[in-house]
């Protein structure tokens, strides 16, 4: 009896495994997509310091809730041919090891790639544990510490910060925008109880030139044509995203929010953007 039962279980397992193998080999589409997964990164043009006539560093913040930025936020759960930008980054850092994450330093404001993080450190950042006291004796007093993991999911990453250099090249009479770093941001509670407040802070920084190959092989949704899928590298290089300036290089090394809030902060960001375009218009002769 036991022998027959074992044979039945073995046959059922073999049938299940065979069914799963057949399902996994099915092509979900009319053709095999090869363009983006074998895409090469276009190298930047050579740039000499002697040819740089003007440069300005700015920091931008992308709100993924804006419609034009939904391509970075969705899908919330990874599907066969697409994943959100944060899921692509997390997989590259934790599973593949193709990207290096850099910490924000002791104060949480460093963005100069000074503190490389190991995969274990990134995992602890993305899966923080909180300790709470639980009453186990039913006497009304919490007496047992209990640790709970609160994993940060892609659904909670609503912002990205981008650090970039605006460069005017006298040799080619051209203006470049070189992205230097990118950081996923999350809302963190500051304080306890009724006095707690939400603050958006970067989780870690990524060196963008290192990200280019990973982004060039990761598809993003194109609302106009499924046959012409963009990659995240295409979107960043062609500036297909919405953002607003939160900081420019200045003598105080301060953000706009440190001296202008609300509407004044938005107007200051627009002023900085307008100054950059005015400078470009005034430099070249048409």
Which residue blocks in the chain are alpha helix, DSSP H?
2-24, 70-73, 85-90, 119-126, 208-216, 232-237, 262-283
Q: What is the pLDDT of residues 80-122, one digit of tens each?
A: 889 999 999 999 999 999 999 999 999 889 999 999 999 999 9
**DSSP 8-class letter at 182:** E
Residue 133 domain-assigned (yes or no): no
Residue 7 domain-assigned (yes or no): no
Residue 88 domain-assigned (yes or no): yes
Residue 40 domain-assigned (yes or no): no
Residue 257 domain-assigned (yes or no): yes
Residue 163 domain-assigned (yes or no): yes
Residue 39 domain-assigned (yes or no): no
Residue 114 domain-assigned (yes or no): yes
Rounded Cα gap, residues 162 and 237, in angstroms: 12
Rounded Cα gap, residues 173 and 150, in angstroms: 51
At 20 the pLDDT is: 44
Domain that holds residue 66: 49-126+156-189+196-283
Query: Count of domains in the chain?
Result: 1
Q: Is residue 38's pLDDT more than 80?
A: no
| Least confident piece of the model among 157-161, 195-199, 200-204, 278-282 | 195-199
Rounded Cα gap, residues 7 and 269, in angstroms: 71
pTM attached to this predicted model: 0.82
């Amino acid at each position: 009896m036991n022998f027959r039962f074992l044979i039945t279980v073995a046959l059922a397992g073999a049938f299940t495994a065979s069914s799963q193998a057949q399902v996994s080999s099915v092509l979900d589409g009319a053709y095999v997509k090869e363009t983006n997964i074998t895409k090469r990164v276009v190298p930047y043009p050579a740039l000499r310091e002697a040819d740089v006539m003007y440069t300005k560093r700015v920091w931008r913040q992308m709100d993924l809730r804006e419609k034009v930025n939904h391509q970075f936020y969705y899908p919330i759960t990874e599907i066969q041919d697409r994943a959100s930008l944060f899921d692509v980054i997390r997989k590259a850092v934790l599973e593949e090891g193709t990207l290096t994450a850099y910490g924000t330093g002791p104060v949480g404001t460093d963005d100069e790639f000074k503190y490389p993080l190991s995969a274990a450190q990134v995992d602890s950042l993305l899966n923080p544990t909180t300790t709470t006291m639980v009453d186990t004796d039913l006497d009304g007093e919490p007496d047992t510490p209990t640790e709970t993991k609160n994993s940060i999911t892609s659904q909670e990453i609503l912002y990205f910060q981008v650090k970039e250099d605006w460069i005017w090249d006298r040799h080619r009479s051209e203006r470049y925008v070189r992205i230097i770093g990118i950081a996923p941001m999350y809302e963190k509670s500051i304080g306890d109880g009724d006095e707690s407040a939400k603050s958006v802070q970067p989780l870690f920084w990524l060196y963008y030139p290192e990200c280019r190959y990973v982004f060039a092989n990761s598809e993003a949704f194109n609302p106009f044509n499924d046959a012409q899928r963009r990659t995240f590298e295409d979107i960043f290089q062609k500036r297909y995203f919405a953002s607003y300036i939160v900081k420019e290089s200045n003598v105080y090394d301060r953000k706009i929010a440190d001296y202008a809030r609300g509407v004044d902060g938005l107007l200051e960001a627009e002023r900085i953007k307008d100054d950059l375009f005015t400078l470009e218009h005034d430099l070249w002769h048409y």
